[in-house]
Structure 1
Amino acid sequence: MPKSFDKKKFFFSTELNKNPVEGFSAGLIDDNDLYRWEVLIIGPPDTLYEGGVFKAHLTFPKDYPLRPPKMKFITEIWHPNVDKNGDVCISILHEPGEDKYGYEKPEERWLPIHTVETIMISVISMLADPNGDSPANVDAAKEWREDRNGEFKRKVARCVRKSQETAFE
């Protein structure tokens, strides 16, 4: 990278400051580490996650933007595309290039043009519309398909309540 490259400006998109995206806030966990961010995601309106305040961490690789960050929910969340450890599994966060399983097109995967904003918009969309065909949490996906208004809804409601209680700890 050129000597004049300002990492802080690169990570902190001026767009994010000028035109905040509704539904989340993001910032550094530690001012001395540009590679670790904390995000708060507000559960999207008219979804089962509405009213939730979900905390997550974005960890950027040293060669960002060539490779995607990893995202992990710190707040418990029941969702087909979030594994039981909190790791988010969506196309935009998958390594760039061809999918060896042929499920995703290269343009659906990570591209260096993606930003914190585009990642968060994708995650908010994921909350509103889970992908049950490619689950990270098979149990949640099964409940979402077979018992969406029963057990799945109860588990999500419990996570939303818990997120509200622990949001600002």
Structure 2
Amino acid sequence: MNHTSPSGSPTDKSGFELNKNPVEGFSAGLIDDGDIYKWEVVIIGPQDTLFEGGFFKAYLTFPYDYPLRPPKLKFITEIWHPNVAKNGDVCISILHEPGEDKFGYEKPEERWLPIHTVETIMISVISMLADPNSESPANVDAAKEWREDPNGEFRRKVACCVRKSQEMAFD
């Protein structure tokens, strides 16, 4: 995985920020030098959470009009979490289209802003792992388990995902 972005790409600022201010808990880079719009990230499960010790791969796909619109983040590694759809799509405010929320759940400043970088997105995802939001879930079943019995079935399913992620980490 290449950890720099080519000059003149829409991800220059993000790549520069990562190199200038490295953040613990993830790595990010281009999947293929020929496609500046598709990145692979690996998020390390945060300490003192159920996800600790996991290595979760995801694709971060930038739209052609980035940074005016947010990228999409999709986990490739299986992960059981209220804010991650069963197909891997991540649902957090920072990755929602800018502007007003037609459902009234989010303030405009909580949604995508062009100032966000790969770094701020990853910090938000790491925070999401540490503190799930079950009020607006992408995975209703995981949210129900998190609310009703976080140390029972939810914990068991997360532990299974962590083990699988460790086995697949170096594939």
Q: Residue by residue, what CA displacement relative to the aligned partner does 1:146-168 show, whole Å, maximum 9, x if unpaired?
A: 01000000000000000000012
Deviation at 1:11, TM superposition (A): 5.0
Residue number in structure 1 paired with 2:138: 136
Residue number in structure 1 paired with 2:166: 164
Any runs of at least 4 consecutive aligned residues in structure 1 with deviations exceeding 6 A, and if so which?
A: none
Structure 1: any 5+ residue segments left out of the alignment? none
The correspondence for 1:92, drawn from 91, 94, 107, is 94
SS of equivalent residue, structure 1 residue 57:
strand
SS of equivalent residue, structure 2 residue 151:
helix
Structure 2: any 5+ residue segments left out of the alignment? 1-6
Distance 1:149 1:94, change over 3 A: same
SS of equivalent residue, structure 1 residue 156:
helix
The correspondence for 1:103, drawn from 102, 105, 130, is 105
SS of equivalent residue, structure 1 residue 122:
helix
Contact 1:71/1:87 (CA < 8 Å) preserved in 2? yes
Q: Distance in 1 between matches of 2:127 and 2:55?
A: 15
Q: Distance in 1 between matches of 2:17 and 2:149?
A: 40
Q: Distance in 2 between matches of 1:132 and 1:9?
A: 31
Q: Residue by residue, what CA displacement relative to the aligned partner does 1:121-157 show, whole Å, maximum 9, x if unpaired?
A: 0000000000000000000000000010000000000
Residue number in structure 2 paired with 1:25: 27
* Amino acid corresponding to residue 161 of structure 1 in structure 2: R
Q: Distance in 1 between matches of 2:24 and 2:83?
A: 21
Q: Distance in 1 between matches of 2:86 and 2:15?
A: 31
Deviation at 1:19, TM superposition (A): 1.9
Residue number in structure 2 paired with 1:7: 9
Contact 1:11/1:34 (CA < 8 Å) preserved in 2? no
| % identical equivalent positions | 82
Aligned Cα root-mean-square deviation (Å): 1.2
The correspondence for 1:121, drawn from 123, 144, 151, is 123
Deviation at 1:14, TM superposition (A): 1.6
Q: TM-score, normalised by structure 1?
A: 0.95
Q: Residue by residue, what CA displacement relative to the aligned partner does 1:30-57 show, whole Å, maximum 9, x if unpaired?
A: 0010000000000000000000000000
Q: TM-score, normalised by structure 2?
A: 0.94
The correspondence for 2:75, drawn from 62, 73, 76, is 73
1:83 aligns with 2:85: yes
